[in-house]
Amino acid sequence: MVDVGHKAATERFAHARAFVRMPERAEAALRAATVAKGDAFTTAQIAGILAAKATASLIPLAHPLPLAKVDVAFAWAGGGLLQIDATASTVAATGVEMEAMTAASVAALTIYDMTKSLDKGIAIESVRLIEKRGGKSGTWRVAAEP
């Protein structure tokens, strides 16, 4: 692991985004909350939050962090595209980018798992960092969204 023992604990924030593209049948089931496995959005939200908390166990050499807040939110972006936004914050000596990206990734995988019986063509199209704040490098934001 990288030694962060000499770094001061500062406020850290990260925002990650994932997209899941799905055919009309799967989108309709999600919108109507008629997915056979149950409440897909709540399940994916909880899965994302738990994944953020487990990032140090999942990503080799990631530091365990005392997360102050993790949030996972969903919005339809049109054309069967579900946008998943995950944010994480803490006061620590290292950032929470991996926690936010892990939350977005696992939430997307959970949506896939909850809807895969409707159509195997559901695809996780991207996971990326949108913004990070704090630490020596300060604030960074993605230049443009695809």
Residue 129: DSSP 8-state: E
Task: Please write the tens of the pLDDT for every residue from 125-145.
Answer: 999 999 999 988 889 999 976
* Residue whose entry in the numeric block shows the structure tokens 């195997």: 120
Looking at per-residue confidence, does 132 or 93 come out higher? 132
Q: Is it the case that residue 83 has pLDDT exceeding 90?
A: yes
Q: What is the pLDDT of residue 136?
A: 83
As given in the structure block, the two tokens for residue 27 are: 């989108």
**Active-site residue set:** 113
Residue 104 has pLDDT above 90, yes or no: yes
Rounded CA separation 84/105 (Å)? 9
Cα(30)–Cα(42) distance, integer angstroms: 11
pLDDT at 2: 81
Q: What is the arithmetic mean of pLDDT over 102-107?
A: 98
Alpha helices, DSSP H, located in the chain: 24-32, 40-53, 55-58, 97-115
Per-residue pLDDT band at 113 (split at 50, 70, 90) = very high
CATH topology of domain 10-141: Alpha-Beta Plaits (3.30.70)
- Asked whether the beta carbons of 139 and 133 are under 8 A apart, the reply is yes
Give me the residue spans of the domains in the chain.
10-141
Q: Is the pLDDT of residue 146 over 60?
A: no
Q: Average pLDDT in the 54-76 region?
A: 95
Mean pLDDT of 93-119: 94
What pTM does this model have?
0.93
Per-residue pLDDT tens over the stretch 4-28: 877 778 899 999 999 999 999 999 9
23-56 pLDDT, tens per residue?
999 999 999 999 999 999 999 999 999 999 999 9
- Is the pLDDT at 110 greater than 60? The verdict is yes
